[in-house]
Structure 1
Amino acid sequence: MKTKAANLEDPYKYSPKQEGDPWEVLLKPEIEADQVRCDSWKEEVQNLLIFAGLFSSVVTSFVINSYQTLQQGPNDVIIGLLFHIASGLDTSSPFPPSVDPTQILSPFSPTVSSVRINALWFISLILSLTTVLIGTIALQWLREHQYYPGCSAKEKLTILHMRTEALEAWHVPQIFSALPLMLQAALILFLAGLIDFATFLGTKLMIVISVFVGITLFFLATTTVCPA
């Protein structure tokens, strides 16, 4: 019995395995690359949020005490008034009061160092809170960026490319890179204000604090510049 030669138009005796959706094949590496990038951003931002929250608490505790130096204390006003009353009642004394009461009751003016310290610490606190705000919003962006409700593989691939282009257009990678710099700037300003504040505590303590702050800033500068 002769075997009939095979023809291209003949039906398959054994059907070939289905290859699946070709869009899924194209989508998989794109999704994996995007997942790796978004996960790295999420991990970095979450670590920054933890540090920024703790740092903001520390700065706030210093600011609560330091801003009082910008205002005249109620005790100073009471002392001035009592001095003025006592000076008016002491008519038997042949000597005039040694201190002019108008100088005590003169308008209050904070020292330059107090203004400088508070300015540094308030700006530091603002930068820290801004980092928390931007980081929280950025995490929301990433969550929406990776959300594809009820989309086919073809639609997901199209949406992914559109969203990736939008991230680049809105400079989102640069925003993530700026968050650590903002937090580092806040830390530097706080340490600068801390050195200035230490001048009120004595020369020896100021020198000790300045040395440790200098070591910290040197390490920060070295680890920032050398890898570049």
Structure 2
Amino acid sequence: MDPHDYEKKYPEDAIYEELSENARIWRVYLDEATEFDADMVNKASDGLDLLLVFAGLFSAVLTTFLVQTSQSLSNDDAAISVSLLSELVMIQRAMANGTSIESIPPAETTSSPSRSDVWVNGLWFIGLTLSLSTALLAVLARQWLHQYTAITSGTPRDRSLIRQYRYDGLTKWRVLVLISLLPVLLHIALGLFLVGLVVFIMPLNPAIACITK
């Protein structure tokens, strides 16, 4: 028997009972909706699973880079120590020569990061934020889809109305549109990482930076 031949699959409703709690129209609706929802949710879930895996790996790699480069944003204690030692040596020489120490410039006790360090860390921190945001939104969307396909009890009419209510909410909040935009966020994060990588390598070796481009 053809599973879509609902006239044979379900008995005909009694007269004036076409919209009753167990009417054939609700059973037909549930069959069609179940098939539609299964295809829609499976496609969306597969994409979300891939996004979660990639976002997790990318965030871990990016965090490893940031652990090293973020230290350049703080004061360089070694440079400050050298500056203080230089001032001390000059003071001692001035005292030995009998000259005034007021002309000796004070040591630099603070250090500011270079422009490239600021750009690299800025780009990579933004990329990490986008990657983690993508993972969070993917988890929320995954939970929404799981709740959307949760089994409900009641008459065919009640289950049909609940399913339609869920579908209207899915459409109103544009969940599927959000899911389709999540890869764009990851692409932007990956692009920021690559730009930051070029900026990071450029002072070290311009040739390698050009190859990275």
User: Aligning the two structures, in what range does the TM-score lie when normalised by the shorter sequence?
Assistant: 0.7 to 0.9
Structure 1 residue aligned with 2:145: 142
Contact kept in structure 1, 2:123 and 2:196, CA below 8 Å: yes
Q: Do residues 203 (structure 1) and 206 (structure 2) align? A: yes
1:128 and 2:121 matched: no
3-state DSSP class of the match of 1:72?
coil
- The equivalent of 2:96 in structure 1 is 92
Match of 2:40 among 25, 29, 37: 37
Match of 2:27 among 17, 24, 28: 24
Pair 1:18–1:60, CA change in 2 (3 A): closer
RMSD: 2.3
CA displacement at 1:138 relative to structure 2: 0.7
- Structure 2 CA distance for aligned equivalents of residues 117 and 145 of structure 1: 42
The match for 1:151 is 154
Runs of 4+ in 1 over 6 A off after TM superposition: 94-97
Larger Rg: 1
Which structure 2 residue ranges, 5 or more long, are not aligned?
Answer: 1-7, 12-21
- Structure 2 CA distance, aligned partners of 1:50 and 1:77? 43
- Deviation, 1:94, is 8.5
Structure-2 separation of matches of 1:30 and 1:92:
94
Secondary structure, counterpart of 1:105 in structure 2 = coil
Partner of 1:224: none
Give the letter for the 1:63 counterpart. Answer: L
AA of the residue aligned to 2:160? L
| 2:193 alignment partner in structure 1 | 190
Aligned AA for 1:83? S
> Please, which moves more after superposition, 199-208 or 21-30?
21-30
Would you say how many aligned residue pairs link Structure 1 and Structure 2?
191
SS at match of 2:96: coil
The Cα shift of 1:171 comes to 1.2
Residue 92 of structure 1, CA deviation: 3.1
Whole-angstrom distance in 2 between the partners of 1:32 and 1:142: 15
State the Cα distance separating 1:95 from its structure 2 match. 9.5
**What does residue 176 of structure 1 align with?**
179
d(CA) in 2 for partners of 1:65, 1:18: 66
**Letter of the structure 1 residue corresponding to residue 168 of structure 2:** E
Q: Give the TM-score, by structure 2 length.
A: 0.81
Residues 1:153 and 1:177: Cα distance change in structure 2 (over 3 Å):
same
**Aligned partners of 2:80 and 2:110 also within 8 Å:** no
Aligned AA (2:142): L
Q: Is the 8 A contact 1:131 1:182 kept in 2?
A: yes
What's the counterpart of residue 111 of structure 2?
Answer: 108
Counterpart CA distance in 2 for 1:86 and 1:101 is 12
Separation in 2, partners of 1:77, 1:155? 74
Q: Deviations over 1:46-72 (max 9, x none)?
A: 100000000001111111111111111
SS at 2:202 equivalent = helix
AA of the residue aligned to 1:45: L
Aligned to 1:162: 165
Contact 1:83 1:101 in 2 (8 A): no
The CA distance in 1 between the partners of 2:9 and 2:146, in whole Å, is 34
Q: Distance in 2 between matches of 1:18 and 1:27?
A: 13
Alpha-carbon shift at residue 19 of structure 1 (Å): 3.5
Structure 1: how far apart are the matches of 2:9 and 2:52?
48
TM-score normalised according to structure 1 size: 0.76
